[in-house]
């Protein structure tokens, strides 16, 4: 037998063993695959193995609060959350997840440690963002972000962690809240973001990305 044929047979045998063994399966429609396996073999491709995504196209999930995480996955699954990147990427992925898998995925990512992010924006942008985060903008009736997202931006219950999140993603979502109804639980943030200028949004996102965890 030629060695290349042997190599192919071994590869085929390994592949079929992988499919038959739920602990190694990437099958999103199999309720027996554990949340940890899905997190490490599927979600990790975009969100990173520890929930720290390398590309700013993908939000960090490390340290995200569980209640918020569960609500978002159910939002994608039910098609309630319909911002373009959400339906493009997350609708199909969440389609067949069970409640138990969703809970397990939330617990897996909540337990991961958020990585310190590189600085974003100039020092004066970050300072302006810090002021918005901590004090709001009374002239524009913008409340302090910290009043819901926490003094450290760590989130709580329905309020997501925004500390250490990619600024690009934060900007994208603030614009979604401000201009659309594509997020079903976005009513509060629509009011919060209403008077923020594009510059305010850049500033507060730069500050949130830079926050230590
Ligand atoms: C092919 C890339 C890709 C994969 C794989 C992927 N995601 Fe996502 N995910 C995204 C993108 C892109 C977004 C941002 C969507 C948006 O902007 O609305 C997202 C958003 C999310 C959010 C919302 C985050 C927030 O802060 O609101 C959660 C939760 C999430 N994904 C969980 C998962 C889980 C769990 C898995 C594995 C079952 C997974 N994702 C697999 C691309 C991916
Ligand atoms: C009154 C409470 C409240 C205040 C104040 C508030 N937020 Fe939020 N924020 C929320 C809630 C609730 C959500 C989740 C919305 C959802 O589930 O769609 C949210 C979501 C977000 C998200 C989306 C995060 C993600 O992972 O997709 C961003 C970004 C955000 N807020 C930024 C801010 C900024 C910046 C400020 C200050 C200018 C602020 N918020 C002030 C309640 C608040």
Cα–chain-centroid distance for residue 51? 8
Question: Which ranges of the chain have pLDDT less than 50?
Answer: 1, 10-20
Integer Cα distance of 147 and 141 in angstroms: 14
**What pLDDT was estimated at residue 21?**
55
* Ligand 2 pocket, residue 206 CB under 6 Å: no
Integer Cα distance of 156 and 90 in angstroms: 23
List C-alpha distances in Å: 60 to 18, 53, 169: 28, 5, 9
**What pLDDT was estimated at residue 119?**
87
**What pLDDT was estimated at residue 11?**
47
**What pLDDT was estimated at residue 91?**
97
**Long-range pairs, 176-180, Cβ under 8 A, ≥24:** 176/83, 180/83
Residue range 128-169, pLDDT digits in tens: 999 999 999 999 999 999 999 999 999 999 999 999 999 999
Q: Which of 105, 111, 93 is nearest to 39 (CA)?
A: 105
Index of the ligand 2 atom closest to the CA of residue 71:
17
Q: Which pair of structure tokens corresponds to residue 27?
A: 């099958």
Which residue out of 27, 36, 46, 66 has the highest number of ligand 1 atoms within 8 Å of its CB and is therefore the one to mutate? 46
How many residues are recorded in the chain? 213
Query: What is the residue whose two structure tokens read 């995925």?
Result: 105
């Amino acid at each position: 037998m030629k060695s290349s044929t042997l190599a192919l047979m071994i590869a085929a045998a390994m592949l079929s063993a992988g499919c038959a063994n739920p602990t190694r399966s990437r099958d999103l429609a199999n309720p027996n695959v554990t949340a940890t396996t899905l997190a490490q073999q599927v979600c990790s491709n975009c969100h990173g193995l520890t929930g720290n995504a390398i590309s700013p196209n993908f939000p960090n999930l490390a340290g995200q609060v569980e209640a918020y995480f569960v609500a978002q996955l159910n939002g994608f699954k039910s098609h309630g959350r319909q911002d373009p990147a959400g339906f493009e990427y997350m609708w199909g992925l969440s389609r067949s997840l069970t409640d138990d898998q969703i809970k397990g995925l939330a617990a897996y990512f909540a337990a991961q440690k958020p990585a310190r992010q590189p600085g974003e924006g100039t020092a004066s942008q970050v300072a302006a963002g810090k002021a918005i985060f901590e004090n709001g903008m009374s002239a524009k009736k913008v409340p302090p972000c910290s009043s819901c997202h926490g003094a450290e931006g760590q989130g709580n219950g329905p309020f997501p962690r925004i500390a250490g999140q990619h600024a690009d993603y934060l900007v994208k979502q603030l614009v979604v809240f401000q201009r659309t109804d594509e997020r079903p639980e976005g009513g509060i943030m629509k009011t919060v973001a209403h008077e923020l200028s594009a510059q305010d949004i850049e500033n507060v996102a730069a500050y949130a990305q830079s926050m230590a965890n």
